[in-house]
C-alpha cells in the first residue's frame, strides 16, 4: 500500500541540490503524495511552485506562529490569494501557537491562528496545527472555533500529552506522528499513539527535521515516512499494510486528495 507524507518543508535549502532525487526516492518507497507546507509568505509561494512542478507534491499555505512577528504588510493577503487561486493548495497552514520559542508576542500568534482557521472555514479547506508547549491554549482556541461548526484539521507532529490528544480526537481532529515517536526516550508518545484510533491517525516526516530513529542524524526526507509507519504498526499491533491503508485513506479524506 502507498503512504502519504502529510507534512514536509521541501523548499528548505537542504533540498536545494537534490529535490528531484529525494522525490524519486519517495516514489520508490511507495510514497504517493507529499504535502509541502509554507511557514511564511515566501515559502508558501515556493510550496505552490513545487506543487505545480512535481506531480508528487501538493501545497499548504500559511504563516507559522514563529514567523508571524516578521510578517510584512501584504504577506497575509498573499497567502490568502494563493489559497483562493491555486488548485494544488489543499490546506491552510501551518498555523497554531508556540510558547517554546520566544519569537512572536503570544497575542499576535493568537490573532494569526484565528485568521488561518477562519480562512480554512471560508474556503472549505483543512488547517494544519503547529503546537509547541501551548497545548491548553491551542485546545481553547479550537473549542472557540468549533462554535462556528465542525473542525477539519490535524495536530501535526504530535508532542503533547494524553489529555491533549483526547481533546483533539473529541473535536474530530486527526493526530499525526513524525519521527519523534520512534526515539528511544519517546515512550509517552508511543503510549498516546497506541490509543489514537486508526481512522484518526496520520504519518509525516516534517522534513528536513526529525529524522526517525533508523536514520537519525541524517537530513529527513519523505521516503523516511516508512520508518514511522512501521513503528506505529508495532505499537498498535497491526500490520504495516494496515497502517498504510488507514493513514493514506485518512490523508485523502482530510486533504481531499
Under a CB-based contact definition with an 8 Å cutoff, are residues 33 and 4 in contact?
A: yes
Q: What's the pLDDT score for residue 44?
A: 98
Please give the residue range of the domain that contains residue 178: 3-255
- The pLDDT, as a whole number, for residue 1 is 81
Q: What's the gap between Cα 110 and its chain centre? A: 19
Answer yes or no: are the C-beta atoms of 201 and 238 closer than 8 Å. no
CATH of the domain at 37: 3.20.20.140
Please tell me the total count of domains within the chain: 1
What DSSP string describes 150-191? ---EEE-S--S-HHHHHHHHHTT-EEEE-GGGGSTT-HHHHH
- The tens place of each residue's pLDDT in the chain, 257 residues long, gives 899 999 999 999 999 999 999 999 999 999 999 999 999 999 999 999 999 999 999 999 999 999 999 999 999 999 999 999 999 999 999 999 999 887 889 999 999 999 999 999 999 999 999 999 999 999 999 999 999 999 999 999 999 999 999 999 999 999 999 999 999 999 999 999 999 999 999 999 999 999 999 999 999 999 999 999 999 999 999 999 999 999 999 999 999 99
What's the start-to-end Cα distance of the chain, in Å? 16
Centroid of chain to Cα 141: 18
**pTM beyond cutoff 0.95:** yes
Amino acid at each position: 500500500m502507498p503512504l502519504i507524507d502529510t507534512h514536509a518543508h521541501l523548499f528548505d535549502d537542504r533540498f536545494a541540490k537534490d529535490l528531484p532525487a529525494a522525490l524519486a526516492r519517495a516514489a520508490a518507497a511507495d510514497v504517493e503524495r507529499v504535502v509541502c507546507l509554507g511557514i511564511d509568505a515566501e515559502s508558501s509561494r515556493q510550496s505552490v511552485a513545487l506543487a505545480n512542478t512535481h506531480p508528487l507534491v501538493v501545497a499548504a499555505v500559511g504563516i507559522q506562529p514563529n514567523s508571524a512577528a516578521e510578517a510584512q504588510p501584504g504577506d497575509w493577503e498573499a497567502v490568502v490569494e494563493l489559497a483562493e487561486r491555486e488548485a494544488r493548495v489543499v490546506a491552510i497552514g501551518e498555523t497554531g501557537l508556540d510558547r517554546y520559542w520566544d519569537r512572536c508576542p503570544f497575542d499576535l500568534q493568537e490573532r494569526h491562528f484565528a485568521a488561518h482557521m477562519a480562512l480554512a472555514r471560508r474556503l472549505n479547506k483543512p488547517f494544519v496545527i503547529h503546537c509547541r508547549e501551548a497545548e491548553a491554549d491551542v485546545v481553547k482556541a479550537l473549542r472557540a472555533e468549533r462554535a462556528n461548526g465542525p473542525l477539519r484539521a490535524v495536530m501535526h507532529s504530535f508532542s503533547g500529552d494524553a489529555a491533549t490528544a483526547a481533546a483533539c480526537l473529541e473535536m474530530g481532529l486527526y493526530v499525526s506522528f513524525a519521527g519523534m515517536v520512534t526515539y528511544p526516550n519517546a515512550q509517552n508518545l508511543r503510549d498516546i499513539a497506541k490509543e489514537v484510533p486508526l481512522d484518526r491517525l496520520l504519518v509525516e516526516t516534517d522534513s528536513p527535521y526529525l529524522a526517525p530513529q533508523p536514520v537519525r542524524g541524517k537530513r529527513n526526507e519523505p521516503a523516511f515516512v516508512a520508518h514511522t509507519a512501521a513503528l506505529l504498526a508495532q505499537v498498535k499491533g497491526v500490520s504495516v499494510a494496515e497502517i498504510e491503508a488507514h493513514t493514506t485513506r485518512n490523508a485523502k479524506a482530510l486533504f481531499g486528495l
